[in-house]
Homo-oligomer: A and B are copies of this chain.
Amino acid sequence: MADAVSTQDRAATTVTKTATIGDSEFDRDTAVTRRAGEPGVYDIDLSAGWTIINAVNGGYLLAVLGRALADALPHSDPFTVSAHYLTASAPGPAVIRTDVVRSGRTLSTGQASLFQYAEDGTEVERIRVLASYGDLDALPDDVRTSAQAPAIPPIDQCFGAGDAPEGAPPVPGSSAITDRLALKLDPSTLGWALGAPSGKGEMRAWFGLADGRDADPLSLLLAVDALPPTAFEMGLKGWVPTVELTVHVRCRPAPGPLRVAITTRNLAGGFLEEDAEVWDTQDRLVAQSRQLARVRLG
């Protein structure tokens, strides 16, 4: 209940917030610190502000690793990032160990692993990523696309955690990350929250950061994994842990809210894929992602 209240307060005040890229909750909570004397090694205290129930959001973790690689590599923009999730992360201290795999003129490739500490102090690996970075601003402007922006109603016709469509519980539930995001779900993919899932593997929303910070390539790594799981609309309950997630950042996003559309076509053998598209206010497809996730059936 306290969550719901604070959520509504934040939702009500979002419009007046003016955080900027480099000075925002997201920037502060993804900031990594170079470890003196150990090149390529970074420390961070994982924020409890980006958790869903007790789990640290996978997109937030991807952004943290992306920050470390942007510092370790000669290029600063993630073009393609492949992450394999090994064990569940918890808020608190973590260390990121990076490795420059290849440095090219237009692309460089790096590897990063995030570790946390066991009771006895030994390091436990949480995530390992391979990523290729470049310079988005150096790309030509040519675009030939057959992709269509998702049809999502205007923001004021979509629903966030602070809103209450008749009879609906808080959406997507009382989790800390809810307060960090300005997430407005398409009513046509909100059936699960009303106890009437559509049965379709679709989830769509307007996505922003609650403090008004505009999107950049790093926050796109968060955006692709910040919506409720499509499994909810397929009538499945429970956790849908990510096994692997790969993101392609195709373009630097324009200011303003993003539209995120996630589709699942194939649930089989207890696994499903989630394909995400992220579109900016200039109707450009700025990111694509696909993840393989496990579903707990029944």
Chain A positions within 8 Å of B, measured between CB atoms, are 79-80, 82, 84, 86-87, 101-102, 107, 109, 111, 125, 128-132, 136, 139-147, 200-201, 234, 243-244, 246, 248, 250-251, 265-271, 273, 284-285, 288, 290, 292, 297
**Contact of A268 with B297 in the complex, beta carbons under 8 Å:** no
**Contact of A147 with B248 in the complex, beta carbons under 8 Å:** no
Set of chain B residues within 8 Å of A84, measured between Cβ atoms: 80, 82, 101, 109, 130-132
**Contact of B109 with A139 in the complex, beta carbons under 8 Å:** no
List 18 extra interface pairs beyond A82-B84, A139-B270, A266-B288, CB under 8 A.
A80-B292, A84-B101, A102-B125, A136-B269, A139-B269, A139-B271, A140-B269, A140-B297, A142-B268, A145-B266, A146-B200, A147-B265, A244-B248, A246-B290, A248-B290, A248-B292, A250-B271, A251-B268
Per the bound structure, the CA–CA distance linking A248 and B130 in Å amounts to: 16
**Contact of A82 with B246 in the complex, beta carbons under 8 Å:** yes
**Copies of this chain present:** 2
Nearest residue, chain B, Cβ from A129: B130
* Nearest CB on B from A258, distance (A): 16
Per the bound structure, the CA–CA distance linking A262 and B273 in Å amounts to: 17
* Nearest CB on B from A55, distance (A): 17
* Nearest CB on B from A59, distance (A): 17
Whether A267 touches B144, Cβ cut-off 8 Å, given contacts A82-B82, A111-B128, A246-B246, is: yes
Chain A interface secondary structure, helix, strand, loop or mixed?
Answer: strand
13 A-B residue pairings within 8 Å (CB atoms): A79-B271, A79-B292, A80-B243, A86-B101, A109-B128, A139-B268, A140-B297, A142-B268, A145-B266, A145-B268, A268-B284, A268-B285, A290-B290
Whether A101 touches B125, Cβ cut-off 8 Å, given contacts A146-B265, A269-B139, A270-B142, is: yes
Set of chain B residues within 8 Å of A109, measured between Cβ atoms: 84, 86, 128
Set of chain B residues within 8 Å of A273, measured between Cβ atoms: 248, 288
* Nearest CB on B from A47, distance (A): 25
Per the bound structure, the CA–CA distance linking A146 and B202 in Å amounts to: 11
A101 partner, pick from B128, B265, B266, beta carbons under 8 A: B128
* Nearest CB on B from A191, distance (A): 16
A102 partner, pick from B86, B201, B266, beta carbons under 8 A: B86
* Nearest CB on B from A232, distance (A): 14
Task: Kindly name the residue among A82, A86, A136, A297 whose own CB sees the greatest number of chain B CB atoms within 10 A.
Answer: A82
Per the bound structure, the CA–CA distance linking A101 and B284 in Å amounts to: 37
Set of chain B residues within 8 Å of A144, measured between Cβ atoms: 234, 267-268
